[in-house]
Structures are given as structure tokens and as C-alpha cells.
Structure 1
Amino acid sequence: MNTVKEIVLALLWAVTLWRLPAAVRVPRQRALWTAFASIAAASTLGEPGVVDHVDQLAGVHNLSTLGKNLLGIVGSAAILDFVVAIARPMALPRARRALTVLATVSMTAMSVLFALTPRPSEVSDFYQANVGSLAGTAYCMVFTGCLGIAMTVATWLFWAYSRHAGAAWLRTGLRLLGAGTAFGALYSLLRAALMLLGFLHPGVINAPATTVADAVENAAISLIIVGSSLPAVGVLWRSVRDWWALRRIQPLWAELTSAVPDIVLDARSRLTPRVRLHRTVIEIRDAVLVLSSYVPEHVRRQAEHTAGLSGVQGDRRTALSEAIWLRTACAAKLDGADIVSESERQATASATMALDFDAEVARLLILSEAYHSPAARTHAKEQA
């Protein structure tokens, strides 16, 4: 087995093992796991050492080829099942019935044609050895026909659904999956064309042509591996970013909620970083709204003046101004001060809050930095 095949096989088994826990927990992930497990097992059956062991143990020449191709049918059907489930969920029951019929008929026909194909000895390339054979050619046509249909439909569904995917990671992953299944359809076409050409014109097919077909097959598998993994990597990356953002705004949350503890929701230890970040942002917003009732308008104007003298500009200046009056408000609340009258404070305390969640997180990151800046601390000490 060459280096490319070794890498592809290692990646297949790695992805299969990686996706196993999700397949156990989430039913909709089982089709994709079945696809990878089938393709990984099929690729393993194509390894020379495994081929020799299986065929010798069974006492049937090239039985591993039949097993490899049958697993290929299972894998292609599972991929199509997966994409139908995400792109056309309402059509899934009907699609599964059609897939079951197609796969069953194809696998039965392949088994019969394999038995009818002369196999006087073990060969390294079953297709190349049976070029010109009627039964061997028919076997190949059934296999590539079933595979080609599944890969063509999957390509169409992946690309169609990718246009509606919101997240960039998911959209790119679906398009790579579509490219992988497109290469799978191309492999089916190439393999069928080579067998037909060899049947009609014996001696025309040579090793380089078979090498091209194998390269297309490896490209298809590689693209499917990358495409299926990319959305998961995107989710992981977003979780890391959410965790990091949460760590950075946590000190601000701790300061504000120490003054307004009653706005804190229940325990959050088992929540995902995304949900925890959402809750933290909401609680900071609620705390700001409560604390704004303890800040007269002249304190805000003084905070704006102090922020202007600091030399910072733009969003950082706005954040520093808010941080300064928030420190004043926290101190007033903790000292037991009464809320100021409506005439003494601004009518809307949430004017600076962003409607977009990611924009609001970015704003709070700047606010947290400003709140703990030397300028805000110095002003708080002067007012104490």
C-alpha cells in the first residue's frame, strides 16, 4: 500500500473512532458514522496483507474484493441517507425505502455476478484481471452504477443545501462534501468506462489508466473526510472563542453582580461555553440597567469628560466613560444609596447596547478592559 493510501486509511479510522461517541448519543449522526466505518473497512480490505489473509482464510479467490465493494455500497447509501436527513428531512422515509431497495438489489446482483466470474487464481487487481469478461464487466457496471447514482444525488443535495447554511464553517464543509461525492461519481464513471472500453477493445486498458481511477477515489475519500470534519472543527473553534470571551468578561460580571446579586441566574457549571456566555452577557446587561438608576446625569457627564482627557478614542473612549460611571454606581449601590430620580438620570441606559450578540460580546470585552483600566480605577479612588 502506497503512502497516500496509508494516510487516507489512517484518517478514515481516526474519523470513525472520533465520531463513534456522537453516533451512540445522537441518532442523526449514525448514518455518517456508518458511512465512515464502511469506507474504512472497505479500504482496509484493499490492503494487500489483509487481502491475502481474508482470501486464504475463506478459501475463495478475491473474496476480499467482493467484501470491499459491498461495503462501498453500504457506505455510499449511508452518505446519501445522511445528506437527505439534513437537506430533505421530510423525504427521508421515502428515500430510505428507495436506498434499501437499490442497495439490496445491487448487492445481490454483485454477489451472483462475482460467483459467475471465472477466478482460477488470486489476482492483485480484480478489475484489471477481468477486463473483457462478460460477468466481470457486468459486476463492475452494477457496482459503479449504484455508487454513481448515490454519489450524484448526494452531490446535488450537498451543494443545494450549502446555499442555505448560515455558518461559514458548515457551508464550506457541505461544499467540500459535495466535491468529495462529485469525485466519487467521477470515479464510478471512470471505472465503468475503463471496463466497458476493455470489454469492447481488449488490450487497450493499461496500468496508468487504473492509477488515475485510484487517485480520483483517494481524492473523493479525502474531500469527504475534510468536509465532514470541518463543521465540527468550526463548532470547536467557536467554543474555544466563547470560552476565551467568557474568561475575559468574567471579572466585569463579578464586579457588577457583587453589587446586584439578585439578577444572577441559577448554577451554570454544566452549560456549554456558548450558553454560559449568553447568560453572562444577559446578566451584565441586567446589572447595567439596575446600576444606571444610581447614576445622576452630571456623573455621566463627568465620566465622559474624564474619558476624553485619557486620550483614547472611538469605542474605547465610550467604554471608558461607561466603565467610570459603572464604578461609581457599584460603590453607591453597595453603600446603600437610594436610586436617583428620573429627572436626574438619562432616560435610556441601554442606548449603547448592541443588538447583535457577537457585537455585544465585542463591546463588553472592551468595557471589561476599560473597567479594570488604571484610568477607571484612579477616578474611582478620587471619588471615594
Structure 2
Amino acid sequence: MIDLLFAGVAIVLLLAAGYWVRGRGGHRPTGTWAMAALLVSFALAFASYVSFVEAAAESVVPGVGRLLSNSFTLAAATSVLAFMLQLNLEPDQARRSIRVRVLFLGISVAGMTALFAAGQLNDDSPQLYALYVLIYITYLGVTAKDFGAQTWKQAKHSRRKSQRVGLRITAAGCLFALLYAAYKVFGLVSIGLELNLLPHGVRCSTPISPVRCVFSVTAPALAVLLITVGLTLPAVAWPFSQFLRRRWESRSFAALAPLWEAVTGATPEVVLTVAGGGVPGDADGDADDADDSDFLLHRRVIEINDGGLALRPHRSPRVQENAERAVAARGLAGTPEGDAIVEAAILRAAVHAKKTGGEPRPQPAPPASGAASRAGNLRAETEWLLLVAHAYAQDETARTATDDAADELAPSGTDQQA
């Protein structure tokens, strides 16, 4: 079971590294190669724990599996710092700082290798092993602390939700890394003082058995997984969120078509044109001159609102009163759905009045509530117009508004005939 855990984590990390390296949409964000190095290093560290890989390595040099795993882990820690430095510093300053970190990494790995070799020649001296662990855990602990503090701080200022969540997940991974470091320090003290509190040579059969495996296996595994998920989440969530946004925009554009047709049919002057004189959207929701969903939806919302402004002189207070009474009778007064039904009824009557040549109202019905709060917010304005469009096409109260408008216009029409 433990081999499956290590192998699975290694495969996931390699796949995540491949996702970062290949780029998204022809663009590789800052820190791509540092992130790939981080993921590959972690993957190799966990792969070195797999039984057959460890056995193959130790058949050449006994005990070398630990050195390989620890070295890859320190390389991953260096990559974490490199990623952070590239995000937070100017390019030249980041490169200088990264070179210093890589130098420290080389010195640390060289020191660990020398101590490992010396330990092999001195029958696994506990003192030499303690020095080995000291180098390893110092480098790893300092990196985890610095990176965790930095990611938590940045999480408070990130604008995108996926970044905030991802950075907090990463900070949680750093806490597990510090837990692992604390365990190693405990072991270091035990070795240095020859207390033998942690027995050597005991393999973990599961992530929680024996109990010390919670600290030696589960904690670092969770640290790696959380850091990987946290740093990869924004990169994965961004294209997915863009897909959902474009789908919502396209569907909203199509759903607003009936309302747009009615309003622009009465006020064709509000229809905007694009370069070359084309119309940005036709009746069935297609566009010949543009294919950006945000652009098309924005135009459609603007045209509907401009049409509503052009129809304002024909907004009937009587239709408004009748629609409000009908909405109140249905228990929808004061709700967004109820307000949309009232607005749809007023618009339908205004469209009818405009098309039939009705005279402007001396005191037209006021605009729908909430217009100021929605101004400049495409999503809020679109969601409101979607409610209005639905009521305009399907609600009985709105559909009978033209009858009220016709009743109002009847005396005027009779006088004209006389």
C-alpha cells in the first residue's frame, strides 16, 4: 500500500509538471520552469521511496536511497524559492537570488554526500548521521517557513479567488512540511544524545503504522500534495473559469435575443454597428463581424438598455400599476422576479405604443429599481435583463400588458378617426 502511495504521488507530480511545461494557449507564465523543477524534484523524491526503485539503487550503493530522496527534496525546496523569487522580484534581482540559492543547494548536497560517505566508512556513525540530518532539515525547514509565510501573505492580496484558495492550500502544505521538519529535529536530538527514541530500520507498512509514520511518511506526502495542488490550482482553474464564463456569455446572448428583437424593432436607431457597417448580432444570436462572447454580450446589453431609454416616454404608469397589483397577488412583490415582471410589462406596452404611433406620456413610469447599483456591472445587468427577457416572453402578466396599452390608446385613436 505504501508503494502505491509513493508511486501515485510521483505520477501525479510528473503529470502536473508536464501541464506546466507545455504552456497554456502559447503562453508560459512567470516561474514556469521553477515550478516544473519543483514538481519533478518532488516526483523523483517520492519515486526513490518505492521499494523496487530503492532496492535497485541500494544494490549499487547501500543506503543511497535516503541520500537521493533528501537531495531531490532539497532541490524541490530550492525550486519553491525560485518560483517565489521570480514572482516577487525584478528579473535581474530574482536571477541573482536564485543563483545564491542554487549555490547553497550545491553546498548542502555536497555536505550531505560527504557525510553519507563518511558514515558508510564508519559503520553508520550516529554522530555523522546527526550532522547529515542537521544540514537537510535546516535547509528544508527554513525554506518551508519562508515560503509558507510568503504564500499566506500573498493570499490576502490576490484578486482571483482561485489564487487565494490555492495559496492558502500551499500554506497548509508548508505547515505539514514544518511538522515533518519538527519530527526530524526530534530524531536529530535523539541521535545526537544517543537516546534511541526512534528505532532505525523499521519500515512503514501503512501511512499511519507505526505511529511515527504519520510524521515520517504521511506529513511529507500531504505537504507535497497540498503544495502541488495549491500552486497548480490557479493554472487549472483559470482556463476552466474562462470556459464557464464564455459559455454563460454565449447562452445569455442567445437568451436575450427575443427581448433585443422586440426593443430594437421599435427603436432600430439604437443598434450599434461594427467596422464595415455590419450589425454585431442578428436575430438567431450569430455574429458575422466578431466572435468574442464578452464583446457581443456587452453590445447586446447596451442596445437593450439604449432601447429602453428611447422607449422611456412611452412607459405607461397604468400598465405599471396593473402589473404591480398582479405581482403582489402572486406574492412576488419586492422580489427580483416580481420587479422583472413589472419591467417586462412596461416594456411590452412601450414597444406596442411606439410601433402604433402612441403619443409620449406626460409623466412616464419611472425606471426599474436597482439601475444605479447595476451600472457598469455586466454580469449584474445581464442577470437582470435575463429575468426581464424571461418574463417578457413567458409571463402572462407581461404578455397582457399590450391589452392595457391598447385600452389607453383607444380614446386617442377614436378622436383621430373622428
TM-score normalised per structure 1: 0.78
- C-alpha displacement at 1:284, in angstroms? 0.7
- Relative to structure 1, is the Cα distance of residues 65 and 348 closer, same or farther in structure 2, using a 3 angstrom cutoff? same
- C-alpha displacement at 1:343, in angstroms? 6.4
Report the counterpart of residue 126 of structure 1 in structure 2: none
Report the counterpart of residue 178 of structure 1 in structure 2: 171
* CA distances 1:141-161 after superposition (whole Å, capped 9, x unpaired): 222221111111101101111
Report the counterpart of residue 352 of structure 1 in structure 2: 371
Equivalent of 1:110 in 112, 120, 128: 112
CA RMSD of aligned residues (A): 3.8
Partners of 2:45 and 2:69 within 8 A in 1: yes
Q: Which amino acid aligns with 1:19?
A: W
> Are residue 132 (structure 1) and residue 126 (structure 2) matched?
yes
TM-score normalised per structure 2: 0.72
> Are residue 68 (structure 1) and residue 87 (structure 2) matched?
no
Secondary structure (helix, strand or coil) at the match of 2:62 reads coil
Secondary structure (helix, strand or coil) at the match of 2:84 reads helix
Equivalent of 2:229 in 216, 226, 230: 226
Gap runs ≥5 in structure 1: 121-128
Structure 1 Cα separation of the partners of residues 343 and 367 of structure 2: 13
Report the counterpart of residue 370 of structure 1 in structure 2: 391
Q: Which amino acid aligns with 1:285?
A: I
Of 172-181 and 367-376, deviating more is 367-376
Equivalent residue runs for 1:1-384 within 5 Å? 2=2, 3-22=4-23, 25-30=27-32, 31-56=34-59, 59-87=60-88, 92-118=94-120, 130=124, 132-134=126-128, 136-201=129-194, 203-206=196-199, 207=202, 208=210, 210-211=212-213, 212-232=215-235, 234-235=237-238, 238-239=241-242, 241-243=244-246, 245-258=248-261, 259=264, 260-262=270-272, 264=280, 267-269=289-291, 271=292, 276-277=293-294, 280-281=297-298, 283-299=300-316, 301-303=318-320, 305-310=322-327, 311=330, 312-313=332-333, 314-327=335-348, 352=371, 354-355=374-375, 356-375=377-396, 378-379=399-400, 382=403
Report the counterpart of residue 412 of structure 2 in structure 1: none
Q: Which amino acid aligns with 1:288?
A: N
Structure 2 Cα separation of the partners of residues 242 and 106 of structure 1: 48
Partners of 2:341 and 2:398 within 8 A in 1: no
Of 194-203 and 42-51, deviating more is 194-203
Structure 1 Cα separation of the partners of residues 317 and 302 of structure 2: 18
- C-alpha displacement at 1:76, in angstroms? 1.0
Q: Which has the higher helix share?
A: 1
- Relative to structure 1, is the Cα distance of residues 114 and 295 closer, same or farther in structure 2, using a 3 angstrom cutoff? same
- C-alpha displacement at 1:118, in angstroms? 0.6
Of 83-92 and 177-186, deviating more is 83-92
- C-alpha displacement at 1:42, in angstroms? 1.6
- C-alpha displacement at 1:348, in angstroms? 7.0
- C-alpha displacement at 1:300, in angstroms? 5.8
- Relative to structure 1, is the Cα distance of residues 293 and 350 closer, same or farther in structure 2, using a 3 angstrom cutoff? farther
Gap runs ≥5 in structure 2: 203-209, 265-269, 274-279, 282-286, 407-418
Q: Percent identity?
A: 20
- Relative to structure 1, is the Cα distance of residues 248 and 373 closer, same or farther in structure 2, using a 3 angstrom cutoff? farther
- Relative to structure 1, is the Cα distance of residues 338 and 25 closer, same or farther in structure 2, using a 3 angstrom cutoff? farther
Structure 2 Cα separation of the partners of residues 321 and 350 of structure 1: 11
For this pair of structures, how many residues does the alignment match? 366
Secondary structure (helix, strand or coil) at the match of 1:25 reads coil
Partners of 2:151 and 2:168 within 8 A in 1: yes
Of 41-50 and 337-346, deviating more is 337-346
Structure 1 Cα separation of the partners of residues 400 and 163 of structure 2: 47
* CA distances 1:110-163 after superposition (whole Å, capped 9, x unpaired): 33333333179xxxxxxxx946141x3322222222111111110110111122
- C-alpha displacement at 1:180, in angstroms? 0.7
- Relative to structure 1, is the Cα distance of residues 368 and 67 closer, same or farther in structure 2, using a 3 angstrom cutoff? farther
Structure 2 Cα separation of the partners of residues 70 and 295 of structure 1: 73
- C-alpha displacement at 1:33, in angstroms? 2.8
* CA distances 1:315-357 after superposition (whole Å, capped 9, x unpaired): 2222123223444566678x6x899879676797896251445
Partners of 1:307 and 1:321 within 8 A in 2: yes
Q: Which amino acid aligns with 1:140?
A: V
Structure possessing the higher radius of gyration over alpha carbons: 2
Report the counterpart of residue 123 of structure 1 in structure 2: none
Structure 2 Cα separation of the partners of residues 77 and 225 of structure 1: 15
Secondary structure (helix, strand or coil) at the match of 1:262 reads coil
- Relative to structure 1, is the Cα distance of residues 327 and 20 closer, same or farther in structure 2, using a 3 angstrom cutoff? farther
